[in-house]
Amino acid sequence: MKSYWKLSLAALAIGSGIWIGAVYSNTATGAGTTPGTTDDPVVTKSYVDQQIQQALNGGGGGSTNPTNPTNPTEPSQGAEEVKNVALKPGKILIADAGTEFIVRSGNAVIYTEVSSGVADLTDGKDLLNGETAPKNHLLSFPREGRGIQVKEGQTSNLIVMVRGGYTIK
């Protein structure tokens, strides 16, 4: 009879362990929230970007109509027009602070009045006075008094895409 009680107690312990485990596992996994419901919505990146722009521009709630970036009604804040500039030999294109250049055709060299250079954002390095400016690289001019000029010996124009202010000397 003793073995009958031992077997009954073992079965009761195993059964109650399984029942307790099943009850606690549902609450541990958070069975109440599923992605995509109103409690845990799934949103698109464009919606999040739009809400961030509205918050940055001081807009409170707002429309749910996304803006059309290919056909804006007004230029976005801080965006400047990109201009194609033809630079003749012997001339220097001097950038304002924060201006960006991309050399499209011709051979250009960096011009600076100081010892520091120009940031080549494509390669992640500084270009110093007299160094060749690579074609199709984004160049950033952190301060005024820096620019590019046509490489000595070249007879054709230099074509440069410019975003920001500049002067030609």
* Average pLDDT for 146-168: 90
Is residue 93 a contact partner of residue 147, using CB atoms and an 8 Å limit?
yes
- pTM flag (> 0.75): no
Residue at 70 is within a domain: no
Whether residue 169 has pLDDT greater than 80: yes
Residue at 52 is within a domain: no
One domain, residues 22 and 87: no
- At residue 106, what is the residue type? G
Give 116's pLDDT tier (boundaries 50, 70, 90).
confident
State whether residue 145 is helix, strand or coil: coil
CATH number at residue 89: 2.60.120
One domain, residues 22 and 92: no
Residue at 111 is within a domain: yes
pLDDT tens column, 33-51? 666 677 777 778 888 888 8
**Residue 100: its pLDDT value, please?**
92
Which residue bears the tokens 């400047």? 80
State whether residue 135 is helix, strand or coil: strand
The domain in which residue 156 lies consists of 82-168
Give 70's pLDDT tier (boundaries 50, 70, 90).
very low
Q: Which of 121, 107, 113, 102 is nearest to 143 (CA)?
A: 113
Q: Which of 76, 110, 85 is nearest to 165 (CA)?
A: 85
Mean pLDDT over the full length of the chain: 81
One domain, residues 87 and 20: no
Domain count, the chain: 2
- At residue 97, what is the residue type? A
Residue at 126 is within a domain: yes
